[in-house]
Structure 1
Amino acid sequence: MCGDVVQHFPRVGHGKGVSVTLVTSLKQLLSGQPAPAGGSKHTSWPGLAAHYRSWLPVDDNTPIVTLLEGNTPLLQAPALEKRIGRGVRVFLKVDGLNPTGSFKDRGMTLAISKAKEAGATAVICASTGNTSAAAAAYARRGGLRAFAVIPDGYVAKGKLAQALLYGAEVLAIRGNFDQALAITQDLAERYPVTLVNSINPHRLQGQKTAAFEVVDALGDAPDRLYIPMGNAGNISAYWMGFQEYRNAGRSRKLPVMCGFQASGSAPLVLGSPVANPTTVATAIRIGNPANRDKALTVREESGGCFRSVSDGEILTAYQALAGEEGVFCEPASAASVAGMLKHAAEIPPEAQVVCILTGNGLKDPTTALENNHGNLHRNLAPELDEVARLMGVS
């Protein structure tokens, strides 16, 4: 199974699959002719709210706003397994393959759908980047206005570009994420806008589906789950999902939950807020997590841990994922793998480990360009011999 992609598709009793007739020839496609009776069919993924409908707070009155998020790959990681050894199996939950490039889409489909159900016309969020992109996309999809309050100069270009192109009104403050969140909370209390940060309970309801997908793919919960932590909503959502599946008999065990923060932005590790958080991993540059208490409960109940990893360790893991596994994630995502590698000796032999990769590497192209392996060769003469020389084939 080494290197396989573990996928999962709609099963009987969980959401309504959509039967799609496949065109069987290019001629039919161009002519618009229907496929012949008995032609090839497949069942498409309907989006997580439809697939996991019975597990979510939605009903016939909920106008589901979806971009067909979810159903992301669980990818076995042979290079990482080789590094750790001892028969440990490592899987990567590649949530950067969601529609806007991050796990935030899971929660945003629920948050926007429920906001629309309640009659909202506008939503607001504070963001280090990914939340604003997801909120803007799903709000646009649902016909709502979106506002995003961000720390000026501290949002990766790819994420900012998304929010702007999706049509959000982006309000950049001279401050950090925690100040932005405080402002958005006050605005949501005073004015007719719905807050869609992870303190909105519908966000975590949507995000818990990632845990369902992990169990659906593996047949049980993993022994350990490694996850980056910023505002700490995602670790809380995963734990909720694992507990619900175990309580319903869908899995036999619960994983040990291990959360990792950047050392310059590690309030949960330090046990107190960080006034001026700093890290190259901008998605987790948060000094006072709104879901702190939930995350502490997860650590206690799962027998897990919170640890910090340096920016250097994050970037090393970031490069290893791309260079050895072919997986391009954003720096914050790599915190999970950095933590796993740093504390590999603690993993029991033959354990099954899942590392959560929360966002796509294209979110932050600047970091990638600044941390390449010296394999960009510029200012070359347009001559075969020079190119062949640098290729090492001449």
Structure 2
Amino acid sequence: MMICISCGAEYDNQEIIYTCRECGSILEVVCQPQVSRDIFECRKSTMWKYKEFMPVDHSLIVSLEEGGTPFCRCQKLGDDLGVELYVKVEGSNPTGSFKDRGMSVGITKARELGVDTVGCASTGNTSASLAAYAARAGLRCIVLLPSGKVALGKLAQAMFHGAEVISVRGNFDEALEAVTALALEGQLYLLNSVNPFRLEGQKSIGFEIVDDLGWKSPDRIILPVGNAGNISAIWKGITEFHEAGFISDLPRMTGIQAEGAAPIARAVEQGWEDIVPVENPETVATAIRIGAPVSAKKALRAIYESDGMAETVTDEEILDAQKLLARREGIGVEPASAASIAGLRKLVESGQIDKGEQIVCIVTGHLLKDPNTAINACKEPIEVDADISALSRIINQS
């Protein structure tokens, strides 16, 4: 069943509904399978390894082998910061972002419900993922993008996979309002993170983290926060494993937002239970350029329940962290992903993270999602004749 996180109203899993009819709040899927963790042994390392915790019809699964992403120990960067650092590289998913996990479950649910058209508003990664999974399932896909605000790599993916892309004059929040209205009229099945089944896929990041660590929780999980679905989903997944008796401890959830789009960080700073939306959010990290995140209440709950925190970082800190992670550890990520590393550095420097903590940073999207920003951050290549002497002079000057 689905349950309203505010008033507790209950809804059947076969009902197409996005928010509570009683109070207007957001919904959450209840999932409490009675299984042993031994059941996961010897299964293929995709997110469907944990299928008992995915409340959809398993005979209809739509998958591109998402999940099972690299869990990299970052010894050099961790030593620099005085922590035990791991990075969960979600850019290794099929379309290059964590959104594939949610779309696999969301599109599977769409098939189960018998819909023929799916849609979303997007800053880029959601549209790229939805387009690919809709194509896999043979469904029509409608995507609304804020005009001029989407990185080239993501736009290319959505279009190439056959989505019907509509450029909206406005920001993401306005595009989401419009596509939600279309969904409520029954013109499409909405697969933004307001759809609770989307988050059922994304919670598998939490499953994999504790599995990778030998069935224990890290001290802290740090991740970028945009529309706020991921931080709440990961917390939901880990708490489900905790309630099942698979692990004995829980992490502190730490959300990082760009200074120009930080309604959740501001709410945590003030101790609020809800956000004040940011009008006209702006940041180089396009994937988290969101002023009114739909999963804000879930995110705040995850942070407060876990004794976590939220922090803001500047665009300059994000771009510095992006380059640092690539050149220190060989992990290339888009700017929004680097917010987790930028936040870690800031929290260590301010003393809010203790030395020696075991930290997992989530990096959510691949470097080539936003190639222009990456290219602009680098020097132009040196041009020279194919002459050994000239090449030697340049190399020896370096």
Give the TM-score range, shorter chain. Answer: 0.7 to 0.9
Counterpart CA distance in 2 for 1:198 and 1:15 is: 30
The alignment's TM-score, normalised by the length of structure 1, stands at 0.86
Matched with 2:291 is: 287
| CA RMSD after TM alignment | 1.5
Partners of 2:108 and 2:42 in 1: CA distance: 18
Flag structure 2 segments of 5+ consecutive residues without an equivalent.
Answer: 1-36, 268-275
| Structure 2 Cα separation of the partners of residues 387 and 367 of structure 1 | 28
Tell me how far 1:83 sits from its aligned partner: 1.4
Of 343, 347, 357, which residue of structure 1 is paired with 2:353?
Answer: 347
1:198–1:204 Cα contact (<8 Å) kept: yes
Secondary structure of 1:161's partner?
helix
User: What is the 5 A alignment of 1:347-386?
Assistant: 347-372=353-378, 374=379, 376-386=380-390
Whether 2:40 is the aligned partner of 1:14: answer: yes
**1:59 maps to amino acid:** D
The CA deviation at 1:267 is 1.3
The more displaced of 73-82 and 358-367 is 73-82
Q: How does 1:156-175 map to 2 (within 5 A)?
A: 156-175=151-170
In 1, are the aligned partners of 2:56 and 2:112 still within 8 Å (CA)?
no
Q: Is the 8 A contact 2:57 2:108 kept in 1?
A: no
1:58 to 41, 51, 56: 56
Cα offsets for 1:360-381 (capped at 9, x unmatched): 0010110110112x3x433323
- After superposition, the C-alpha distances for 1:277-324 in whole angstroms (9 at most, x for unaligned) are 111100000011001111111111011111100000001100000000
Shifted more, 378-387 versus 299-308: the winner is 378-387
Within a 5 Å distance, the mapping from 1:1-394 to structure 2 comes to: 13-14=39-40, 17=43, 44-45=44-45, 47-49=46-48, 51-60=49-58, 62-85=59-82, 88-219=83-214, 220-271=216-267, 272-344=276-348, 345-372=351-378, 374=379, 376-392=380-396
Asked if structure 1 preserves the Cα contact closer than 8 Å seen for 2:121 and 2:143, the reply is yes
Please name the residue that 1:7 is paired with.
Answer: none
Matched residue SS, 2:60: coil
- 8 Å Cα contact 2:57-2:109 kept in structure 1: no
Letter in 1 for 2:232: S
In structure 2, what is the Cα distance between the partners aligned to 1:192 and 1:282? 28
- Counterpart code for 1:367: T
CA distance in 2, matches of 1:379, 1:89: 41
What is the CA–CA distance in structure 2 between the aligned matches of 1:16 and 1:74, rounded to whole Å? 18
Q: Which ranges of structure 1 fall in alignment gaps of 5 or more residues?
A: 1-10, 18-43
Percent identity (aligned): 49
Paired letter, 2:174: Q
The alignment covers a number of residue pairs equal to 351
Letter of the structure 2 residue corresponding to residue 66 of structure 1: S
Q: Which amino acid aligns with 1:356?
A: I
Give, as a single letter, the amino acid of the residue that structure 2 aligns with 1:55. F
Aligned to 1:33: none
TM-score, with length taken from structure 2: 0.85
Q: Deviations over 1:224-267 (max 9, x none)?
A: 11010000000000100110111111111111111000001111
Distance 1:176 1:79 in 2: 39
Q: Cα deviations across residues 320-342 of structure 1 (Å, max 9, x unaligned)? A: 00000000001000000100001
